[in-house]
Amino acid sequence: MRYSTESGDPGIDDRISQPRGLGMKVFNVQGEMFDAGKDYPTQDIEFNSTPALELADTKTTKEIFDIRIKYGGDKKELYKQLEARDDTELQKSVRFYSQIAYRFGGYVVKYSLAPTGETQKKLYEKTVKPDSDRTTFSVQFCENLEKRPVEYAGKPWDDEKYPWQTVAKLVVPQQDSHIFTRKTFWEDHMVLNPWHGLKTFQPVSSPNRPRRVVHPASASLRHKHWKERDQHLEHRRNTR
């Protein structure tokens, strides 16, 4: 698993409200896979810190990316453009959620990851200790397409009428997350793609379909830069 901040700017204070992400790659998964990940028996699962997706559908995604590209270097103007939209609260918003719907065997669900260990329950009472702890993986079942839209991901499903149901428990052992080799392995070799996985866990909805093309293109570009960087470093070593 790996935590991330959407903007990718290391200078942004963690106390500033903005989406936080969590990526999880499950190894040694058995079953019928999509072509994108059939050579690697893994199931990729992505989470975000808000229950709804600000890039709610394909149209919204294009509009928001156009705004971010044009005004990304001017925070004041960027926020001005976002505040002019009807969905400004959703665009500026900050348990981890899938945000988008997925198949879950014969069902359609959204999923979440929530800490349930005693360490988290006593978080306000004492300093957090690096003990192993437990996190639950839960799902919300789609029972009504009008009240639980699948194609539009900008509306959260009501968790009072349709409560989360625990389907698995995840144990995270104590570890040093800043080991250089682990950090390098994830950043230079790991690629997360919701289309890497089982067909029974198929991504559905409008925001998920473009990922089938965008994620491989992004991964290809990253691998190209990694290769060029490694070749450059090797050349420098050989010419010393």
pLDDT digits (tens, 9 = 90+) for 11-58: 555 555 556 788 899 999 999 999 877 888 899 998 887 777 777 777
Tell me which H or E stretch contains 181: helix 180-189
Which residues have a Cβ under 8 Å from the Cβ of 30 and sit 6 or more positions away?
41
- Rounded Cα distance, 240 and 233, in Å: 11
The confidence band for 201, taking pLDDT boundaries of 50, 70 and 90, is: very high
What is the structure's pLDDT at 197? 92
Residue 203 is classified by DSSP as B
Domain ranges for the chain, please list them. 2-54+93-238
3-state helix, strand, coil in the chain (%, to 5): 30, 20, 45
Q: What is the pLDDT of residue 109?
A: 94
Statement: 2-54+93-238 belongs to CATH 2.40.180.10: yes
Query: What's the pTM?
Result: 0.70
Q: Looking at the predicted structure, is the pLDDT value of residue 183 above 70? A: yes
How does the average pLDDT of the chain come out, rounded?
A: 80
The whole-number pLDDT of residue 68 equals: 78
Report the range of poorest mean pLDDT among 47-61, 147-161, 188-202. 47-61
Residue at token pair 């359609």: 108
Task: Return all residues near 80 (Cβ < 8 A) that are at least 6 apart.
Answer: none
List residues bridging with 87 in a β-sheet.
none
Half-sphere exposure of 32 (CA within 13 A, CB side): 4
Which tops the pLDDT comparison, 223 or 77? Answer: 77
> What is the percent of the chain with per-residue pLDDT over 70, rounded to a whole number?
83
For residue 190, give the DSSP letter: -
- Whether residue 94 has pLDDT greater than 50: no
